[in-house]
Each structure stands twice: as structure tokens, then as C-alpha cells.
Amino acid sequence: MSQPKLEITNLQAAVEDKTILKGINLTVRGGEIHAIMGPNGNGKSTLAGVLMGNPKYQVCSGTATLDEADLLALPVDERSKAGMFLAMQYPSEIGGVTNADFLRSAVNAHRGEGNEIGLFPFVKKLNQSVKKLEMREDLPHRYLNEGFSGGEKKRNEILQMMMLEPKMAILDEIDSGLDIDALRIVGTNVTQLVKDREQEMGVILITHYQRLLDYIQPDFVHVLIDGQIVKTGGPELAKRLEEDGYDWLKEELGLKSLTLEADTEETTRPANIGACGTRQKLGL
């Protein structure tokens, strides 16, 4: 099987008429782990949401392809079927739908009509994955994320990933809420999925902390500030950020501020004609 490739070029996107992503360029191949770090509110989750098709974002320009699939032209379910996966920073609770039913429906939607997974192989795989993640055994049978603890929700996102076997997984702050043991367990399982599979999975790992990168070692570390990748390095870059924060980088790059609020004029004008979201709405 060929190695998957996610290619993002000059991606610009807005939310509520405010430009958040200002030209993202990134290529992720199967078997590679790319960590994305950066201060709060600078566009990391926006990038994840735009790639997955969250309707709250308006794409203004640029491209995003996964192999032959033009992601930005596809509805969310088709992006998922093409091999994209997002472990969300804030997973939703869905009452009335059990976790196991949700997973089986998702797996079957991927496999297509006439090729549904049998109940026995599904349950077997589910149980194996639950065991690997050392999750409580009742969790698959409860309503999706309802009443789950913060850490249980995060582990459940990884369970979904293990069941769906995506080509490209975006993990948005999967470490937040995890206790020390869970961090190791999740980290080991993600690494195994990336490295052990015949068709290697690529990973975009959004995190604030080096500690996750002890368990999921990145090939590349990118820093996203003000909607752009301003620096790329290896694991040593994450270590430097952990030790020294972002100030040295800010100085090195000559950035005025690390926050969008202070940096852009757009926030002072509610409908900035220059903002790509506004331009799109006006058909300019």
C-alpha cells in the first residue's frame, strides 16, 4: 500500500469574519509525527477544524489534499472516509447513543454497504482496543462521552482512532486531562499505530507540553503563531520551548505580540473588509 500524504498549501481561514489562519504550509507523510505547538489562541484548533470540515470556519484560500482527495471540497463524512481523523480538544457528549453503537456505525460507514463488519469481529477488536488502552470496561456501553471524566473522554478519542484506523490523525491536546499513567498508555498506543501498521499513519500532534513528546516522539516540531508556522525544528525545539517559553522566539522573529488580539487591526474593526472571511461573504 502506498504511503499516505497530507499536503496543505497556503491555507487561509476565518471565523466570524476574523482571519485566523494566515497561510499554512505543511506536508505530513504516513509514518511521520508532526507536533504543533504554540501559545493559546493562535490557530492550532482552527487548523484542525478547517482540515476536518467544521462549518464554523470559512476557508478563504489555499488547498488541502490527502492523497487524491481534495479535502476542502468534501463534506465531513467524506473526509473521514478518505482517511482523516480528529481527536478533539473538547469532545462532545451525545446522549442516547452508546459508544459501541457509535463506533460500529462509524466503522460500517467507512466500509460501505454490503461490507459491514460482523458483530463478532467488531466486538473482538473493540475489546482488544479497550484492553490496550486500559479503559474501564463499561465505557463502550455507556452513552457517548456522557458523564465521562476528562481523561476518559480523551482516551475514548484514541479508542475511536484505533477502531477507524485513519491514514492521517490530528490529535488536539490529547494529553490534557490525562493522568500520568494514561499519558504513557495513550502515548504508547499512538506510537504503535504510527510505526507498526503496514500502511503507516501520519500524525499531527497538537500539544503545549514536552511530556507527551516523551511518549510520542515527533519527527518535526512546528510552532504556530498568529496563524502561521513561524518555526520548524526537531524534538530539541520542543525542549527549548518547555525550558524557555516563547519569548526568545518572539525576539528572534521580531514579533510584536504572541496574541492575535494585540497583533492585528482586525479586532478593532468588527467587519474588516480585509479579513478573508468578510471578502468571501461579500463575494470579493
Taking the least distance from each CB to ligand ATP, the nearer of 208 and 239 is 208
Q: Map the footprint of Mg ion across residues 187-216, applying CB under 5 A.
A: none
- Residue 260 touches which of ligand ATP, Mg ion, none (Cβ within 5-8 Å per kind): ligand ATP
Q: How far is the CB of 172 from Mg ion (least distance, A)?
A: 6
Q: How far is the CB of 38 from ligand ATP (least distance, A)?
A: 6
Q: Mask 86-115, x = binds Mg ion (CB under 5 A)? A: ---x--------------------------
The verdict on 45 binding Mg ion (CB under 5 A) reads: yes
User: d(Cα 201, Cα 168) in Å, to the nearest integer?
Assistant: 6
- Residue 15 touches which of Mg ion, ligand ATP, none (Cβ within 5-8 Å per kind): ligand ATP
The answer to whether 216 and 187 have CB atoms below 8 angstroms apart is yes
User: d(Cα 154, Cα 174) in Å, to the nearest integer?
Assistant: 6
- Residue 18 touches which of Mg ion, ligand ATP, none (Cβ within 5-8 Å per kind): ligand ATP
Cα 102 to Cα 133, 260, 274: the distances in Å are 18, 37, 42
Quick check: helix, strand or coil at residue 185?
A: helix
- Residue 278 touches which of ligand ATP, Mg ion, none (Cβ within 5-8 Å per kind): none
Taking the least distance from each CB to ligand ATP, the nearer of 188 and 280 is 280
Task: Output the DSSP codes for 16-40.
Answer: TTEEEEEEEEEEEETT-EEEEE--T
The answer to whether 220 and 234 have CB atoms below 8 angstroms apart is yes
